[in-house]
Amino acid sequence: MTAGSAPSNPAVLPPVIAIDGPSASGKGAVASRVAAALGFHYLDSGAIYRAAALAVARAALDPARSGQEALADLVGRMPLSFSAGRVILDAEDVTDSIRSEECGRQASLVAALPLVRLALLARQRAFRQPPGLVADGRDMASVVFPDARLKVFLTASAEVRAERRYKQLMDKGIHANIAQLLQDIRHRDERDSSRATAPLQKAAGAYELDTSSLTIDHAVAWVLERYERQQSS
């Protein structure tokens, strides 16, 4: 199967809800709660890209200078697993370390490389298990699960997203500067939206939801209601 092509018989595959959106749009919180409400599996594809960035840094490779083949080969083989909400890379719990802003920046650089994206495709699709999957990221609806039963594009203003990220980091005891976060978010939006492969954009058939003035509970309820409507139509 090539990137972007639909599986040959989507009818027999478990349903997928794809939730894409820019940095700190709330997609992780919304997607994980929707998954819990439906008893579905959950894929945080950003965590895979973040772990890939960490694996690249630890191998002393440079996303901007090392050859794409070498980077893709490394991330395709990285020993990564998810267990009880924890992210394990090479037998080490990296759940917290991959959340740093620096790791997000590096992930965005690594994620711009088409061969790296291809090397991570099968890993992401393997999360599609019964009874279903909620997947969040940038290209869940367009490339990884183009046959998703429901496609949602979550947005929020850059200012609201910077505030959310600030609160997230402070809650984890990580020092942050809101002006710097806003600048980082704008840069990351720009890089993720302008890259040639799987750019961040609303997929065809996706519903857009602006969460700037919504609580997470409201956004979760909105997605669940759309999914139920989709099921009964």
Q: Which residues bind ligand CDP (CB under 6 A)?
A: 23-24, 45-46, 49-50, 104, 107-108, 111, 137-139, 188, 192
Residue 104 CB partners (closer than 8 Å, separation 6+)? 23, 50, 184, 188
Cβ-based neighbour number of residue 15 at 10 Å: 21
Residue 77 CB partners (closer than 8 Å, separation 6+)? none
Minimum distance from CB of 165 to ligand CDP (Å)?
Answer: 7
Decide whether 39 or 171 has the Cβ nearer to ligand CDP.
171
Minimum distance from CB of 192 to ligand CDP (Å)?
Answer: 5
Q: Which residue is nearest to ligand CDP (CB)?
A: 46
Decide whether 15 or 46 has the Cβ nearer to ligand CDP.
46
3-state class percentages of the chain: helix first, strand second, coil last, to nearest 5: 50, 15, 35
Decide whether 187 or 229 has the Cβ nearer to ligand CDP.
187
Minimum distance from CB of 49 to ligand CDP (Å)?
Answer: 4
Distances in Å between the alpha carbon of 147 and those of 12, 15, 59, 80, 128?
12, 9, 36, 26, 12
Decide whether 132 or 138 has the Cβ nearer to ligand CDP.
138
Minimum distance from CB of 203 to ligand CDP (Å)?
Answer: 12
Q: Compute the distance between CA of residue 62 and CA of residue 71 in angstroms, rounded to an integer.
A: 9
Decide whether 190 or 228 has the Cβ nearer to ligand CDP.
190
Minimum distance from CB of 103 to ligand CDP (Å)?
Answer: 8
Asked if residue 133 lies in contact with residue 42, where contact means CB atoms within 8 angstroms, the answer is yes
